[in-house]
Structure 1
Amino acid sequence: MTILNGISRRDQYLALLSLLLIVTGVCICLGEMILRGEEPRRAIVTLEMIYNHDYLKPTLHGVPYYNKPPLFNWILVGVHSLFGHLDNWALRTPSIIAYFLTGAGIFEVCKRYINTRVAVLASLFYLTNPTLLFFGTVLSGELDLLYSLVVATQIIIIFIFHEKKKLLPLFVFSYMFMAFGLMLKGAPSILFQGLTLLIVFFNSSTWKSLFSWQHFTGLVTGGTILFLYFFSYSNDGGDGMTYFLNLFQEASKKSILEAKGWEFFTHFLSFPFAQLIEFLPWSLLLLFAVRNKKRAPFRQNKLVWFSVLFIAINILPYWLSPGTKTRYHYMFIPYGMIVLAYLYDQFSNIPLRYALWLIFTLAVGRLAYSLFIIPYQVENLNTEIKYLEIADDLLQKTEGKELRFGGIPDTILLNNPVALLTGQSKEVYIPPEIPYSVALKLMRNKGQPFVYDFPFQKGVFYLCEKEDILKMNPEIIKEYPGWFGQEVVLCKFH
């Protein structure tokens, strides 16, 4: 196998068998796990686009959805067009493809800039990272694996073209992917672009390039992509400014700007240890860096040093943000695995096959998890099962008639630094919370959006919190166990 030159035939077979087991383990039960977390919300927004034939202005329960731009939903619309449905496995397919593409990208880049052994190890280290293998790929209806691929591509473009001293493609393509990232997840992509450019050009003493016409061209390229969308959104009757400001509001919610003293202190102390745990078992390879007697072991290869710099500068905002979640860090895993695989290859005396056997063990573990643990988990997800049972009962009680949900909305003031700079402080009205799994099942069965409606209309079935309707005297058809600490009712106004 010429693609794996420098690796014994026995080790090649072990690596390929491990890869086959990973693919099988991840894909064999893609649709079996009940949608959880943010997964059903992604499906709801996409289905509302399809039902409403409006692909420009995303909505959630019929209300403008400002929390995320629509690129992921557009991809899911394409999946729906391809398969004719958006069942659980179809919803999860784009992120799973992104997961394996990231592994393939790691292999190609490491093969070119380090060697084949590191390429094999780094890609398989990534694919067998337990956080991804046993969590991220299970709940892959969320967009974080896909976002990780977009950010990883954005960043490696900077490295490759900086090495080639080609400034125009560096800035144009990296800003293009920054725009794609912003259209997926929002403001964090801007921070990745800015911090990475600063550390790369200052580290190489070429900071004057940041003031070049090539950089300006890149800014215009990324800005044009974003302008075209938000201009089209506003031109089609949407509130583009509120949308744009809310993306920064979403980012600031989880940042140091919203942190409280004790919460910040505990997060700041625990974060490094949490990252070491997140990278286990491969983070143990850092011991080789500690034991290494040579100075600056990371600086002996340009890609490895670039990976260290990228992680070091870009992880700081997450270190200072108590609201951050594990899945927000996925984009650091590819570069972390490059560093760890390099340490194993260059500074350990342990044969390659020992690492491959551990990879094989994790791959077998993922297959066993899919075959035996996931079916057990599905049967014992009591909260999710309860919500789906409520949805079934609502369908039976309403007998095909229109069902909406209502209640007093919350108000959020968009007063983040960007809003203050632009002088465009805005208010956004947020409907009461409802489990997305309930809404999604109702939508799938009725073939129409499950919309929020307030004030209440006569002759329509409503699902709402009991305390919101106590003084209105509706016909209460059934009461349900509450969610989010509130009792809910199915009712009708006459």
Structure 2
Amino acid sequence: MWFEREKIILILILFAILSLFPNLDVLEFRGEESLRTLIAYEMFKEKNFLQPTVLGENYYLKPPLFNWLIILYSFIFGWSELTGRFLTITFLVLNAILVYIFSFTLFKNKIFSLISSLIFLTFFDVIFWYGYLAEIDITYTFFIFLMITFLYTGFYENKNIFLFFAGIILGISFLLKGFPSIAFFTFTLLGLIVYFKNLKIVLNPSLLTGLLFALFISFLWIINTANPEKYLYFLFYESLSRVDVNNNFDLINRLTNVLFFPILNLKQLLPASFVVLLIFISYYKTEKKINIDTRIKTLILVVIINYLPFLISKSAGRYILPLFPLIAIIFAYFIVNIGKDKWIKVFITISAFIILLRFLAGFIGIPIYMGKKISRKAIAEDIYTTINKSKNVAFDCYDEKVFALYLDLKLNKVIKKSSLSDDWYYLIDCRNKENLKLLKEYDLKNSKIFIYERF
């Protein structure tokens, strides 16, 4: 029976991944996808790989590693919506594999490890959003989770090589999102110190050597940017904005966040969060005591300590994504070891239904969504056919930079802001310009975009 169940879970894991592909090329760039791909394209065309730019202007809010990876994938898949999305799906698969490896290392139980991976893949925010979009989060999740597993293994099993590599991964993850990586490293280390009551770990030579390498990796990049001090300043304060320490976020807002942020997270963690909640309710009614393994208690403490800064601040749920693999393992423990056979069947059934919904969303939902949505890509195509390709184009509508990206790809060159391109003939903007000749305008429902010619 267990062998058959293993096969069923493996099939569901495979189908969970495959469910992300239907009509992936039909879905236009969403959210920050266009920003990440635009930066990568400008890096590639301008051969400026150390200092990210947007519309030719220096960009300081994120380090460049994710953009480098998009460029790497462009050599395989070319430049389109799929380039960064295939990158994200690659790291989604790597996350699932790492969840399996780490959980199997903990308990040597294949069913437990497979369910851990399936839980991660079917988390609502993973399978319906971040698991396929060309955004940093899933790639960042892999490196932060890898760093946490190295810290845990090095600490728990007294293996110095893992502590060394934890420092190396910290340096790499810094190149993805900057200072939040240091926070995840510090809070994870704090959680391990608190649980094992061992402060000596912070003086471990292997850990300190790894941290020196992390510092070297970060320094080597930042010193070669256009303005290192400015870059560090923006990275630091952009990170602080995620926990909103300013006075505008008052006590009432903080208390509200304490109440509602966990509810948001429970939604993000569906369907597994629902199953685990039912398990706890059923055990509460029987008045049985739940005995939790020491290794799971350690992971729970690590999650809680990393979670607290977001709980007492004003921040979006996406920022706890790096904790999702650990939460998947914790949930799997409750389902397999507390809920046992009955709840394993329940979770497998619900997961199959979620995967079916994701296939339907891909095959049916995406075409319907794109049919109702004003197509930025179609407008960009029309702009391309309207303008004279031999004339230079400037772009001043940052909020609609997706147009710049689509036009970049069509024109095979980088379009810059008008202030950085003196010889432009066409200007694309989302504001009225009285001193320019209006060539065409497009209604985007909540805004408009205009093509102007110089007189």
TM-score, normalised on structure 1? 0.84
TM-superposition CA deviations, 1:418-446 (whole Å, max 9, x none): xxxxxxxxxxxxxx523122111110111
* 2:65 matches 1:71: yes
For the structure 1 residues 200 and 280, does the alpha-carbon distance in structure 2 shift closer, same or farther, using more than 3 Å as the test?
same
Cα drift, residue 127 of structure 1 = 1.1
Query: Which residue of 456, 474, 482 corresponds with 2:436?
Result: 474
Give SS of 2:450's match: strand
Q: Show the counterpart of 2:174.
A: 182
Q: Is the 8 A contact 2:271 2:350 kept in 1?
A: no
Q: CA 1:397–1:42 in structure 2 vs 1: closer, same or farther (change >3 Å)?
A: same
Deviation at 1:483, TM superposition (A): 7.9
In structure 2, the residue matched to 1:413 is: none
* Equivalent residue, structure 1, for 2:44: 50
Match among 461, 464, 470 for residue 426 of structure 2: 461
Q: 1:221 aligns with which of 213, 225, 228?
A: 213
8 A contact 1:196–1:314 mirrored in 2: yes
Task: Tell me, in whole angstroms, the C-alpha distance in 1 between the residues paired with 2:139 and 2:424.
Answer: 44
For 1:369 and 1:297, the matched residues in 2 are separated by 40
- Rounded to whole Å, the distance in 1 between the matches of 2:84 and 2:270 is 28
Aligned to 1:490: 451
Match of 1:260 among 235, 246, 249: 249
1:448 aligns with 2:419: no
Secondary structure in 1 matching 2:134: coil
Given the alignment, which residue of 392, 395, 409 partners 1:405?
395
Post-superposition offset of 1:287:
4.5
Partner of 2:377: 388
Q: Is the 8 A contact 1:178 1:190 kept in 2?
A: yes
Alignment of 1:69-468 (within 5 A): 69-83=63-77, 85-114=78-107, 115-138=109-132, 140-166=133-159, 168-233=160-225, 238-258=226-246, 259-261=248-250, 262-284=252-274, 285-289=276-280, 291=283, 297-298=291-292, 300-302=293-295, 304-322=296-314, 324-351=315-342, 352-382=344-374, 385=375, 387-400=376-389, 401-406=391-396, 433-454=398-419, 457=422, 460-467=425-432
Cα-to-partner distance string for 1:142-174 (whole Å, 9 max, x where unaligned): 1111111111101011111112212x4243211
1:34 aligns with: 28
Note if contact 1:15-1:360 (Cα within 8 Å) is conserved in structure 2: no
Post-superposition offset of 1:337:
1.4
Q: Is contact 2:144-2:322 (8 Å) kept?
A: yes
198-207 vs 450-459, greater mean Cα deviation: 450-459
Distance 2:379 2:210 in 1: 51
CA contact (8 A) 2:166 2:207 kept: no
- The CA RMSD over aligned residues, in Å, is 2.3
TM-aligned CA deviation for residue 378 of structure 1: 1.9
Match of residue 56, structure 2, among 51, 54, 62: 62
Gap change, CA 1:337 and 1:459, over 3 Å in 2: closer
Residue identity matched to 1:335 = L
Asked if 1 retains the 8 angstrom alpha-carbon contact of 2:13 and 2:117, the reply is no
Q: SS at the partner of 1:199?
A: helix
TM-score, structure 2 length as denominator? 0.91
Whole-angstrom distance in 2 between the partners of 1:369 and 1:493: 45
Write the distance in 1 (CA, Å) between the matches of 2:121 and 2:171.
26
Distance 2:339 2:430 in 1: 61
Q: Which has the higher helix share?
A: 2
Deviations 1:369-423 (A, max 9, x none): 22222221221223xx1x33432332233221211024xxxxxxxxxxxxxxxxx
Whole-Å Cα distance in 1 between the matches of residues 100 and 184 of structure 2? 22
Q: Is the 8 A contact 1:256 1:320 kept in 2?
A: no
Q: CA, structure 1 residues 24+482, in 2 after alignment: closer, same or farther (shift >3 Å)?
A: closer
Q: Is this contact kept in 1: 2:164–2:208, CA < 8 A? A: no
For 1:399, give the aligned amino acid: N
1:11 aligned residue: 5
The structure-2 alpha-carbon separation of the partners of 1:69 and 1:94, relative to structure 1 and needing over 3 Å to count, comes to same
Q: CA deviation at 1:79?
A: 0.7
SS state of the match for residue 367, structure 2?
helix
Report the CA distance shift for 1:61/1:368 in structure 2 as closer, same or farther (over 3 A). same
- Relative distance call for 1:204 and 1:349 in structure 2 (3 A) is closer
What is the rounded CA distance, in whole Å, between the counterparts of 1:218 and 1:484 in structure 2? 50
Counterpart of 2:20 in 1: which secondary structure? helix
Partner Cα separation in structure 1 for residue 326 and residue 88 of structure 2: 19
Q: List gaps (5 residues or longer) in structure 2.
A: none
- For the residue of structure 1 that corresponds to 2:197, the secondary structure is coil
Q: Which amino acid is the alignment partner of residue 149 of structure 1?
A: F
Structure 1: gaps (5+ residues):
1-6, 407-431
Instruction: Give the Å deviation of 1:492.
Output: 3.1
Which amino acid in the other structure matches residue 397 of structure 1? Answer: T
Residues 120 and 465 of structure 1: CA distance in aligned 2, closer, same or farther (over 3 Å): closer
The CA distance in 2 between the partners of 1:389 and 1:362, in whole Å, is: 32
Q: 1:402 and 1:483 mapped to 2: Cα distance?
A: 28
SS of structure 2 residue aligned to 1:490: strand
Answer yes or no: is the 8 Å Cα contact 2:380–2:407 preserved in 1: yes
Separation in 2 of the partners of 1:349 and 1:82? 44
| 241-250 vs 129-138, greater mean Cα deviation | 129-138
CA deviation map 1:93-126 (0-9, x unaligned): 1110111111111112212212222112111111
